[in-house]
Amino acid sequence: MDNKIIFALDVYDYNIAMELAKKVGDKVFAIKVNWPAILENGIKIVRDLSKYSNIICDFKLADIDNTVSLITDKVREYGGYGIISHSFTGLNSLKAVVKSAGNMKVFSVVSMSQESYLDNITEELVQISKDAGVYGLVAPGNRPYYLKKVKELAGGLKIISPGVGAQGGNIVDAMILGSDYVIIGRSIYNSPDPGEALSNFARDINNKLNK
């Protein structure tokens, strides 16, 4: 199976989260956790989930240098593979995330999967991200114009894309337009058979992109 999928594990319950991680962790590039899992279970769930896959903490950091550094330090301490930060807070804040991340991968949001103010400043956000030294960019898989635009500006940075599945984006289209990894959550964890749902997405990639 071609591991081009990041599984968005947006659930509260610890046992459900761990069971899903066991089922799909070795079949995806990474598992992305957001605030629901952290608020219910604490940061230690990152360490527990990391037994099954790379863990990307989707915290969309947006604060002053010291605050984002403290949060990033803690994610690194508990074994995070990566962390997602906003970039609109400016170069110094994003640089602080990159510095605190150490060997972790930093992904910065430059465009979202729904209309937002970021649409007006995407080009500037990509440049800030480059200057800060991030590993990758977050750009929407369900908004072709913005994904293509980010790809053209990325200069080799990895692109991870939300918006596929429940938000209407097509996994193959997103990868053709420039996504390196596609983020999928509800279409997998709300499925009666999450493993089969994941396999179907992976099959689409393999059948249509690897001919």
Q: Identify whether 32 is a catalytic site residue.
A: no
The single residue of 23, 27, 60, 74 carrying the catalytic annotation is: 60
The mean of the pLDDT values for the chain is: 93
Counting residues of the chain whose pLDDT is more than 70, the rounded percentage is: 97
Residue 210: per-residue pLDDT? 64
Amino acid at 105: K
Residue 97: per-residue pLDDT? 98
- Binning pLDDT at 50, 70 and 90, where does residue 1 land? very low
Cα–Cα–Cα angle for 119, 156, 128, rounded to 5 degrees: 45
Give the distance, in angstroms, between the CA of residue 153 and the centroid of all CA atoms in the same chain: 19
**Phi and psi (nearest 5°) for 119?**
-60, -30
> How confident is the model over 11-30, as a mean pLDDT?
95
Residues pairing with 69 in the sheet: none
The DSSP letter of residue 116 is -
The DSSP letter of residue 78 is T
Residue whose token pair is 């594990």: 9
pLDDT surpasses 70 at 208: no
Q: What's the farthest any 2 CA atoms get from each other in the chain?
A: 48
- Binning pLDDT at 50, 70 and 90, where does residue 194 land? confident
- Binning pLDDT at 50, 70 and 90, where does residue 211 land? low
> How confident is the model over 15-41, as a mean pLDDT?
95
**All domains of the chain, ordered by start, with CATH?**
5-209 (3.20.20.70)
